[in-house]
Amino acid sequence: MTTNEIEFHEESEKLKENLQKIEALSTRFAAALAQKKPIRHALQAPGEDFFASSAAAYWQKTFNSPGEMFEHQIEFWGKTLRHAIEAQQSFLTQGTAPADNSPKDPRFRNPLWDTHPYFNYIKQQYFLTAKALEQSIDKLEGLDPQTQRRVEYFTRQMIDMMAPTNFLATNPDALERAVETEGQSLVDGLENMIRDLERNNGELVVTLSDPDAFTVGENLGTTEGGVVFRNRMFELIQYKAVTEKAYEIPLVIFPPWINKFYILDLKPENSLIKWITEQGFTLYVVSWVNPDLSFADVGMDTYIEDGFLTAIDQVRSLSGQDKINVVGYCIAGTTLSLTLSLLKQRGEDKVNSATFFTALTDFSDQGEVGVFLDDDFVDGIEEEVADKGVMGSLYMARTFSYLRANDLIYTPAVRSYLLGTAPPAFDLLHWNGDSTNLPGRMAVEYLRGLCQGDQFAGEGPGFPVLGTHLRIEEVEVPLCAIACETDHIAAWRSSYRGMRKMGSKDKTFILSESGHIAGIVNPPSKKKYGHYTNDDWPEDPTEWQAGATRHDGTWWFRWGEWLASRSGKKKPAPALGDSSHPVLADAPGTYVIARPTL
């Protein structure tokens, strides 16, 4: 037997072995799928009314503007036919791919998309079809702006889902790798998919980061500190001072309870928590509990009374200060504004200044996430929490992922399942997958009263809670708001409008480049994203941006100066806790690593 024959025999044996592995894995795959629990239809797709109104609007546009619709159809079929003929000629002559004017897209990096007639044909036809779909739904007649926005969003979802890069037979990267590895990449990809199904009880949720690469408290969330208070809702972490002297007025950060607080303390080089302590501030951070079924009774009132107000009082007691500085991030910023309104009504002057990170208080324009805030989805959530008591972490995580489906679903799935590669060790993506549950009553109150009803900032008596109605104009403490330019969760223009409505006469608004996370976790060492400032508060946020000054680098130092001027004098830095607040656990505490069973 020759050397070539031996190599071919060995390769054939490897291919045969991999095919047998795939067959064996099929049994495990079926078992993993069998774990899947039924999910109510209202949580998976828009309601039937949405589809009916969209279809009616499409046909109305067709009847009212038949010339425009026929023009689009003729243009599409003409380009499709011409493209098919050009591709056929390339195949027959074994020439290069025909002229390609399709848009640049990072999903189509492989040179074969441009040079090989088959793959180029598929790519160009995909973009032609995508454009035709977008043209067909442009400015549908009889739809309100919100429904039009939803039609465009869900059409884009279908376009992204059907991209040829998402399928083995039409992805040159996956086919090349399968050939190179004698099918090993397909075996690895199937194993990756099965592991994801098994981790999520039959739900296919792609793992974004190596689950074994990070452990909270070991290589994430490692800034030194201790838990100095704990109740049912949260652990209060005090961080150890790293300067001899610290400002006398402490700072407490309220992170969102949709995710976990260590987004602000991923690694030392990008930790906002560590940076704050290095600037001489005495810092406390709330670590919210991850709710189980026993938290079904918890509402917005509980988060305000047993969360915000309790934490504020505990920090006042620990520091000996009558007034403290506070930060609210995302939904915690929304709730902080409610708390400040309540304190104003009660005549309690406990907050010296407030900072809001990417927080919405005016929901008149819900931004991109608004496509999930109509009654069809919210009704489904209300039914789910009435049945289960809590809103499982899967639903929120999936919702936010679909706002960036190519980045957070399809591209990672292609790498993992089609290419068979292991997920990367990426701290931010690890945090992104470490989501939490939401108490049922709280979720419904937030969605109905604030997101849908805009009761805090809109017309009417205010947001009802704790026996009163809270209004946005009652927020009168000095405030600083940081919003993010490409934020897909808390649109910066909506954040601006809310801050503008607040009653404070001392306001600062900073617009950071980038999105909901990267715009906030923007350490100086990266020198990556800049920020904008403008001392004026015109009614139109676009006018504010047009008149703003851009600054290189992070906003952290600008905010640090703002906070320092409202933090009093410096004095010897305090130790962790006191006699009535002993250290109960080292940071990052116990709540952040708890995984309740539902």
Tell me the fold of 225-580.
Rossmann fold (3.40.50)
Instruction: Name the burial class of residue 399, with classes exposed (0-12), middle (13-18) and buried (19+) by CB atoms within 10 angstroms of its CB.
Output: middle
Instruction: Identify which of 548, 482, 491 has the alpha carbon closest to the alpha carbon of residue 511.
Output: 482
pLDDT at 2 (0 to 100)? 46
Give dist(CA 559, CA 283) in Å, integer. Answer: 15
Judge whether 139 and 69 are in contact, CB under 8 Å: no
pLDDT at 3 (0 to 100)? 43
Q: What is the crossing angle of helices 66-93 and 48-64, to 10°?
A: 100
Instruction: Identify which of 595, 207, 132, 141 has the alpha carbon closest to the alpha carbon of residue 401.
Output: 207
pLDDT at 95 (0 to 100)? 66
Would you tell me how many other CB atoms lie within 10 Å of the CB of residue 431?
25
pLDDT at 10 (0 to 100)? 52
Cβ neighbors of 117 (< 8 A, separation 6 or more) are 87, 90, 91, 95, 96, 97, 98
Give dist(CA 217, CA 127) in Å, integer. Answer: 46
Judge whether 417 and 192 are in contact, CB under 8 Å: yes
Bond preceding residue 412 cis, omega within 30 of 0 = no
- How high is the mean pLDDT in each 10-residue block of the chain (598 residues)? 45 73 82 84 84 88 81 83 80 71 91 90 94 89 90 95 96 95 92 92 91 94 98 98 97 96 96 98 98 95 98 98 98 98 98 98 90 92 93 86 92 96 93 93 97 96 97 98 96 97 97 96 92 97 97 97 98 96 98 87
| In the chain, domain spans | 50-166, 225-580
CA distances from 227 to 192, 218, 330, 576, 577 (A): 38, 16, 23, 9, 8
Tokens standing for residue 118: 């088959």
β-pairing, 225-230 vs 234-239, is antiparallel
β-pairing, 463-465 vs 468-470, is antiparallel
Does the pTM exceed 0.75? Answer: yes
Instruction: Identify which of 399, 421, 420, 402 has the alpha carbon closest to the alpha carbon of residue 410.
Output: 402
- Report the number of secondary-structure helices (H) and strands (E) in the chain: 21, 17
* Residues with active-site annotation: 330
End-to-end CA distance of the chain: 61
Tokens standing for residue 296: 């079904």
